[in-house]
Structure 1
Amino acid sequence: MIEDFDVTSDWHVADPYPFLARLRAESPVFWSEHLQAYVLTRYADVRAAYGDPRRFSSKGSLTISRSLTAETREKLGEHGSFLSSFVANVDPPDHTRLRRSVSKAFTPRAVAAMEETFRQLNEEPLDRVAPQGGADFVAEIGHEPSIKLTARFIGVPESDEAFVQAHVKDWFQLFLSPQPPERQLELADSFLTYLDYVDRLVASRAKDPQDDFTSLMTSLIGDELSHREVVELISTILLGGNDTVPNQLGNTVLRLLREDAWPVPPSLAGNAAEECMRIDGASLGSFRYAATDISLHGVTIPAGALVLLSTDSAAHDETVFPEPERFWIDRPNAADHMVFGYGIHFCVGAALGRLQLRTALDVLGRRLPGLRLVPGQPIVYRKSIVGRGLPSLLVAW
C-alpha cells in the first residue's frame, strides 16, 4: 500500500522522493484521497499534459478556493474567484491575449537591464550583516533583494514593501493552502486590504504614469486588458518576487552548502542554479482540470477531475535524469526540469528568475566565500502542496 500525499507531514515537503519514486514505478497516475486529485508523476506524462491545454485545462486551476467556507466566500464576494483571469489560470484565447501583453515587459533587453540593479540590491544586506559573522539567511540576506527588485519593477514605493510582503504571504495561505475557518476570515480581511492597495496603485498610474510595469499594463486597459486583469497580474507577479524566487535561493544555498559546493565558480553558477532547481525546486507542480475523459497507464481520469502535474517528481525521473538524487553541479541536462512549467504556460518571468539566482550566487560567493551552515539546527520546510521554502536557515562565515 502506497501512502498518500499529506501536506501536514514533515516528510512530504522535506523528502518526498522515495514516495514519488514508488509512484513513478507502481502508480504513475495516482489517485490522492488527501488532495482529491489525480497525480501525474512521470516526466513524459507531466510534460505531455503541460503541452496539451485542450485536455488538461488551466481554467480555475490555480486556486483551491473550493476549500473556503461559505462565510469566507461571502466576505470575499466577487473576489472569491481571485486569479480567475490571471494568465496562468486561463486557457486560449484569453491566455494568448494576456501573455502577449505581459511579455512586453519581459523582453531580453528589459531583463538584462535589471541585472546591475539586482547585483547592487544583493550587496546592500551583505554590507549590513557581513561584520556580524553570522545571520539567518532567509530573514536577513536571501529574501530582501528579490522583494526590492520586484517592488521597483512593479512600481511599489519602498515605504510599502513590508506591507506588500506581509499581505502577499497572507493571500498565498488563503488561496493556496488549506486553513481552518477562523484563520480563513483573518486572511480574507488581509487579502481585501491588499487588493484595495493594488487597485489604488493601478488607478494612480492611470492618472500619473511612471517608468514601471504597472504603468505599462495600465496603458493597455481598454484595448488589450481589463482593470481587473491588470490588478490580478500585478498581485501575482508580486507573489513570485516575494515568495517563489527567494524560496528557491534559500533551497539552493542549503543544497550547495550540504554538498560542499560553496562557493560556486562563476562559470558554473548558471548550471548550478538549474541543478538546484531540479533537485530542490521551490515550485512543486501545477494543477489542471481534465477537460474530457483521459485514459493513461490503464487509469481513466474522468472529465472535470482535478489533476496535479508533479514537476517535483518529474525532476527526479530516473529515465531522464540518471542518479536523480545525486547533486551533479555540471549535469548536462539539468535545465530540463519543469520548475517554470512548460508549453504555453512556461513562466513569463523565467529569464528574470534565472538571472536573479545566477547573480545572487555570484555576489554571495564573492562576499561570503567561507559561508557554512550553523551545525545542529533543525531544517524545517513550510508545509505546502505547491511550494517548498525554508522559514529559517542559520549560517555563519
Structure 2
Amino acid sequence: MIEDFDVGAAWHVAAPYAFLAGLRARAPVFKSEHLGAYVLTRYADVRAAYGDPRRFSSRGSLTISRSLTRATRDKLGEHGSFLSSFVANVDPPDHTRLRRSVSKAFTPRAVAAMEQDFRRLNEDLLDRVAPRGHADFVTDLGHEPSIKLTARFIGVPEADEAFVQARVKDWFQLFLSPQPPERQLELADGFLTYLDYVDRLVAARAKDPQDDFTSLMTSLIGAELTHREVVELISTILLGGNDTVPNQLGNAVLRLLREGVWPVPPALVANAVEECMRIDGASLGSFRYAAEDVTLHGVTIPRAALVLLSTDSAGHDESVFPDPERFVIDRPNAAEHLVFGYGIHFCVGAALGRLQLRTALEVLGRRLPGLRLAPGQDITYRRSIVGRGLTSLLVEW
C-alpha cells in the first residue's frame, strides 16, 4: 500500500521527495484520501494540466474552505469563498479580462523600475543589521524589503505595513494551512479585519487617486473590474510580497549555504535562483477541478473531482531534470520548473518575483560574504497544504 500525503507531518513540506518519486514511478495519478484529491506528479502531466483549462478548471480551485468548520464558515459569511474572483481562480473569459487588467501594472518597464528601489531597501536593511553579526534570516532579513516594496507598489502606507503583514499571515493560515476549530475562529476575525482594511484602501483611492496599483485597478471598476475583484487582486498580491517571495528567498539561502556556494558568483545568480525554485520551491502546487472525466495512466479522474498539480514533484522529475536531488547551480534547464505555473495561469508577477530574488542574493552576497548557518539549530517548516516556508533560520557572519 502506498503511503499518503499528511499535511500535518513535518516531512510533507520538509522532505517529501522520496515519497513523490515513489508516486511518479508507481502511481502518477494518485488518489489521496488525506487531501481529498487526485494528485498529478509527473512533469508532463502537471504541465499539460496547467495548459488545459478546458479539462482542468481553475474555477473555485483556490477557495479551499473545505477544511473550515461550520462555525468558521458562518463567521466568514460571503467571505468564506474568498478568492472566488481572483485571476488564478477563474477560467476564460473572466480570466482573460482579469489578467489583461492586472498586466497593465506589470509591464517590463514598470518591473525594471522597481529594481533600484528594491536594491536600496536591501542595502538600508543591511546597514542596520550587518553590525550585529548574527540574525534570524526569516524575521530579520528575508521579509522586510519585499514587504516594503509590495506596500509601495500597492499603495499601503508605511505605518500600516506591520498590520498588513500580520493579517496576511492570518489569511494564509486560515485558508491554506490546517488549523484546529478554535484557532480558525481567531484567524477569521483577523481576516475579516484585513478585508475591511483593503476595502477602505480601495474606497480612499477612488476618491483620491495616487501613483500606485490600487489606484490603477480602482480606475477600472465599472469598466473592466468589479469592486470585489479589485479587493481580491490587492489581497493576493500582498500575499505574494509578504509571504511567497520572502519564503522562497529563505529557502534559497538555506540551500546555497548548505551546498557551500555562498556567495553566489554574480554571473550565476540568475540561474541559481531558478535551481533553488526547482529544488526547494515556495509553492508546492495548485489545485484544479476536473471539468469532465479525465483518464490518465489507466486512472479515471471523475468529473468535479479535486486535482492537485504537484509542481513540487514536477521539479524533481528525473525524466526532465537528471539527478534531480542534486543541486546544480548551472543546470541548463533549471528555469523549466513549474513553480510559477504554466500557460494562461503563468504567474503575472513572475518577473517581479525573479527580480526580487536575484537582487536580494546579489546584495546579500556582496554585503555578507561570510554568511553561514548558526550551529546547533533545528530547521523546521510551517505546516501548509501548498507552501514551503521556514519558521526560522539562524545565521551568522
Q: TM-score range by the shorter chain?
A: over 0.9
Structure 2 runs not aligned, ≥5 long: none
TM-score scaled to structure 2, two decimals? 0.99
Q: C-alpha separation between the residues in 1 aligned to 2:375 and 2:174? A: 34
Q: C-alpha separation between the residues in 1 aligned to 2:262 and 2:11? A: 26
* Mapped contact 1:30–1:39 kept (Cα < 8 A): yes
Q: Which residue of 1 aligns with 2:380?
A: 380
SS of residue in 2 equivalent to 1:300: strand
Q: Which residue of 1 aligns with 2:224?
A: 224
Structure 1 runs not aligned, ≥5 long: none
Q: Which residue of 2 aligns with 1:215?
A: 215
Q: Which residue of 2 aligns with 1:105?
A: 105
Q: CA deviation at 1:79?
A: 1.0
Note the alpha carbon deviations across 1:137-177, whole angstroms, 9 max, x for none. Answer: 11111110000000000000000000000000000111112
Identity %: 86
Matches within 5 A, 1:81-160: 81-160=81-160
Matches within 5 A, 1:272-287: 272-287=272-287
Q: C-alpha separation between the residues in 1 aligned to 2:225 and 2:240? A: 21
Mean Cα deviation higher: 307-316 or 64-73: 64-73
CA-atom RMSD, angstroms?
Answer: 0.6
* Mapped contact 1:64–1:176 kept (Cα < 8 A): yes
Q: Which residue of 2 aligns with 1:77?
A: 77
Question: What amino acid is aligned across from residue 248 of structure 1 in structure 2?
Answer: Q
* Mapped contact 2:8–2:178 kept (Cα < 8 A): no
Q: Which residue of 1 aligns with 2:302?
A: 302
Note the alpha carbon deviations across 1:241-262, whole angstroms, 9 max, x for none. Answer: 0000000000000000000000
Q: CA deviation at 1:332?
A: 0.2
* Mapped contact 1:152–1:212 kept (Cα < 8 A): yes
Matches within 5 A, 1:139-218: 139-218=139-218
Note the alpha carbon deviations across 1:256-284, whole angstroms, 9 max, x for none. Answer: 00000000011110000000000000000
Q: C-alpha separation between the residues in 2 aligned to 1:217 and 1:144? A: 25
SS of residue in 1 equivalent to 2:240: helix
* Mapped contact 2:285–2:310 kept (Cα < 8 A): yes
Q: CA deviation at 1:65?
A: 0.5
* Mapped contact 2:58–2:88 kept (Cα < 8 A): yes
Matches within 5 A, 1:360-375: 360-375=360-375
Q: Which residue of 1 aligns with 2:312?
A: 312
Q: C-alpha separation between the residues in 1 aligned to 2:164 and 2:324? A: 37
Structure 1 stretches of at least 4 aligned residues deviating more than 4 Å after TM superposition = none
Q: Which residue of 1 aligns with 2:32?
A: 32
Q: C-alpha separation between the residues in 2 aligned to 1:365 and 1:69? A: 46
* Mapped contact 1:57–1:288 kept (Cα < 8 A): yes
Matches within 5 A, 1:292-371: 292-371=292-371
Matches within 5 A, 1:262-273: 262-273=262-273
Q: C-alpha separation between the residues in 2 aligned to 1:108 and 1:346? A: 16
Question: What amino acid is aligned across from residue 260 of structure 1 in structure 2?
Answer: G
* Mapped contact 1:63–1:176 kept (Cα < 8 A): no
Q: C-alpha separation between the residues in 2 aligned to 1:174 and 1:20? A: 26
Q: C-alpha separation between the residues in 1 aligned to 2:38 and 2:236? A: 26
Q: C-alpha separation between the residues in 2 aligned to 1:63 and 1:10? A: 24
Note the alpha carbon deviations across 1:32-67, whole angstroms, 9 max, x for none. Answer: 010010000000000000000010000000121022
Q: CA deviation at 1:178?
A: 2.3
1:56 is aligned to 2:28 = no
Q: C-alpha separation between the residues in 2 aligned to 1:124 and 1:378? A: 29
Q: C-alpha separation between the residues in 1 aligned to 2:323 and 2:34? A: 29
TM-score scaled to structure 1, two decimals? 0.99
Q: How many residues align?
A: 397
SS of residue in 2 equivalent to 1:223: coil
Q: Which residue of 2 aligns with 1:251?
A: 251
Note the alpha carbon deviations across 1:326-384, whole angstroms, 9 max, x for none. Answer: 10000000000000000000000000000000000000000000000011110001111
Note the alpha carbon deviations across 1:109-145, whole angstroms, 9 max, x for none. Answer: 0000000000001112211111111111111111100
Q: Which residue of 2 aligns with 1:12?
A: 12
